[in-house]
Amino acid sequence: MGEERVLSMGGDEKRGVSPFPFSAGTYSAPRRWDSASAQTSGKNGLYCPTNCPLSCPSGGLVDESVESANTTIEDEELKARKQEIIKVTEQLIESINNGDFEAYAKICDPGLTSFEPEALGNLVEGHDFHRFYFDNALSKGNKPVHTILLNPHVHLIGENAACIAYIRLTQYMDASGMPRTMQSEETRVWHRRDAKWQNIHFHRSGAPSVPSQ
């Protein structure tokens, strides 16, 4: 049992024995937290009003700089992952512009599905439909083709999946030697397998992939 202390009840002093092994003394009511007088430690220290050293490893102080650093690292990681999706999409478009079906096939899943103007509203599966255009049009072009992806927006879906939407502007020279520009709106779904990103589905509206003459 703890040592005796004086308890004041209704003005009469009575002696009692404290059931807790605390030092003798008068009872102190919980202190009201005043934000104006909150203690801080350094410019990034925040005072914890509960002063709970058991639940706060820092003894009641929350280090704002640590939280800020963690948030910055996470933001940078997300930016890097999104940039990776944009880059692989640009590589795929480049293979189309160059008429390089081998490079295109490496980036696209064998079961690739798509909706595109050339398919007249039908869902196409596999590479054969696309290969026809590589063999008979894209690979035979000898005029420069330049593509720009405008406002690419990436949705990260877990660690191994992503979706990207963008406007695709294609610049080319027509049969008379005049520069032309055509536009399409595209969405592509990517899946990472064996540490490699592959396009598993796309939807394109607007202009076809093969520039008109």
Chain mean position to CA 122: 32
Please give the domain boundaries of the chain with CATH numbers for all domains.
69-206 (3.10.450.50)
The pLDDT of residue 138: 83
The pLDDT of residue 137: 82
pTM: 0.66
**Other beta carbons within 10 Å of 60:** 18
Mean of pLDDT values over 100-121 = 96
Residue carrying the six token digits 């203690």? 39
Distance between CA 110 and CA 113 in Å, rounded?
9
Distance between CA 9 and CA 67 in Å, rounded?
48
Residues 17-48: tens digit of each pLDDT: 445 544 445 445 555 544 444 444 444 444 45
Using 50, 70 and 90 to split pLDDT, how confident is the model at 56?
Answer: low
Residues of the chain with pLDDT > 70, as a percent, come to 65
